[in-house]
Chains A and B, each alone.
Chain A
């Protein structure tokens, strides 16, 4: 799908890097307008259809998009689990995209391969929203992360720590690129084997963005305005003992927070969590991860509305 520059109508949402800071700010502003007056937005996308193509499961991303579409009066059609469909019968990915793009006004795609969404956007008749492809990009997650940071803390001049698996975590890669458009100090906290890929660091260096890396959260937490926690997956470790040792030392607990943090620190997590944040933290004033989920629907409403021309 090829759209006119300067407007978001008809645009694909493939990578956060395809958007200028002005465009991102605009999406966040529209999101804010929706959040303030949710009820008046119903019906803006009536008659519009979102098709949902998930080649790997992600219940939350799917439900968040469905919720956003229904809130605007639109409808969704879901390809369902790929095992049951023609994909398993040997249909090529490109054929699947070509066919499904005839059924709907916009499509959200999730796929295990890097670059699948970009490719789909080249052959689809309707705009494609990347719901996560491979270890690459997950732009709607990034936009909702930015929205949460903006609403609950600040974007310009904030000191943001990103903790966990920074090597394979796709939400992290998207987020780092987005934050690099704002005047933000970034601190990357991870086990040495799961640090941010060299390639992304080179891109930051090219943009003259300074950042810090460390492997102990205790050393940096007191300076942070935002702590973004991600999952460390067991599959990344050859043996369970090593995994338990590592994941244990990257766990956020009440004890760590009582060791001294900024008054207005906020803690985010893309969810689902598997133990990186102790449930005791949920009741503290720092926790914002459930709110983040709620903002996700608002931001996806903004994206769908802008792409389909429901909002300017």
Chain B
């Protein structure tokens, strides 16, 4: 227990994303558009032992309460991630992410001839047709994909 604490210090205020599939922490940051150098203090723990998952990743974003819509995008790459909103060292809200109905930006359309790959001003938009197995359809060109490719 003490070792765990050393790895992932409790935070005073912010968002803790737990139960991220091992190896996906960096992609989670990408989805949340947290880039270095970032304004937030971000800490990550990778390959942490987990009773349920074997190994997992954890991401902590201090002093920022991430929006639910934003966080649900994480479900694309980490189905079982749980979100803890922390205030004054207390978890005030806890929930599991779920795949949203539409995903704007972050994912690239695999159709090379799609307008979203031609004009940088066009933000990609996908309709989630099925959550499990994942199936997305580009709103613009109509092509379907089952695996995500980040922009």
A118 partner, pick from B119, B140, B143, B144, beta carbons under 8 A: B140
Q: Is the CB of B119 within 8 A of A114?
A: no
Say yes or no for A169: interface residue by CB 8 A criterion: no
Q: Give every chain B residue within 8 A of A136 (Cβ-Cβ).
A: 141-142
Q: Is the CB of A92 within 8 A of B111?
A: no
A111, B118: Cα distance in complex, Å:
11
Residue of chain A at shortest CB distance from B109 = A115
Interface residues of A in 6-54 (CB under 8 A from B): 15, 17
A134 within 8 A of B: yes
B113 close to A94 (CB less than 8 A):
no
Do B144 and A114 touch (CB < 8 A)? Answer: no
B140 and A135: CB pair below 8 A?
no
Docked complex Cα distance between A159 and B96 (Å): 51
Contact A93 B144 (CB under 8 A): no
Chain B CB within 8 A of A128 CB: no
Q: Please, what's the 1-or-0 string for B68-86, where 1 marks a CB less than 8 Å from any CB in chain A?
A: 0000000000000000000
Q: Does A113 contact B (CB under 8 A)?
A: yes
Nearest residue, chain A, Cβ from B116: A115
Report if B139 contacts A (CB, 8 A): yes
Q: Is B17 an interface residue (CB 8 A)?
A: no
A contact residues around B142 at 8 Å (CB): 15, 17, 114-115, 136-137
Q: How far is the CA of A189 from the CA of B91 in the complex (A)?
A: 63
CB within 8 Å of B: which of A132-149?
133-137
B107-150 interface mask toward A, CB cutoff 8 Å, 1 = contact, 0 = none?
00001011111110110000000000000001111111000000
List chain A residues, Cβ under 8 A from B113: 112-114, 134-135
What is the predominant secondary structure among interface residues of chain A facing chain B?
A: mixed
Q: With A115-B114, A134-B113, A135-B113 in contact, do A92 and B140 touch (Cβ < 8 Å)?
A: no
A114 touches B143 (CB 8 A): yes
Q: Mark A170-213, 1 if CB is under 8 A from B, else 0.
A: 00000000000000000000000000000100100000000000
CA distance A216 to B141 in the complex (A): 31
Roughly how many angstroms separate A69 CA and B115 CA in the complex, as a whole number? 28
Q: Judge whether B119 and A92 touch: CB under 8 Å.
A: yes
**A115 with B115: in contact, given A136-B141, A199-B143 (CB under 8 Å)?**
yes
Give A134 to B112 CA distance when docked, in angstroms. 11
Q: Are B121 and A94 in contact (CB under 8 A)?
A: yes
Contact A114/B141 with A119-B115, A134-B113, A135-B113 known, Cβ cut-off 8 Å: yes
1/0 per position for A87-98, CB-CB distance to B under 8 A? Answer: 000001110000
Residue of B111, B118, B138, B139 most packed against chain A (CB within 10 A): B118
B76 to chain A minimum Cβ distance, whole angstroms, is 21
Contact A114 B140 (CB under 8 A): yes
Rank and list the top 4 A-B pairs by shortest CB-CB distance, nearest first: A115-B140, A114-B141, A115-B141, A113-B115
* Residues of chain A having any CB pair with chain B under 8 Å: 15, 17, 92-94, 111-116, 118-119, 133-137, 199, 202
Q: Known pairs A113-B118, A115-B115, A115-B140; list 13 more (Cβ under 8 Å).
A: A17-B142, A93-B121, A94-B121, A94-B122, A111-B115, A112-B113, A113-B113, A114-B111, A115-B139, A119-B140, A135-B113, A136-B142, A202-B144
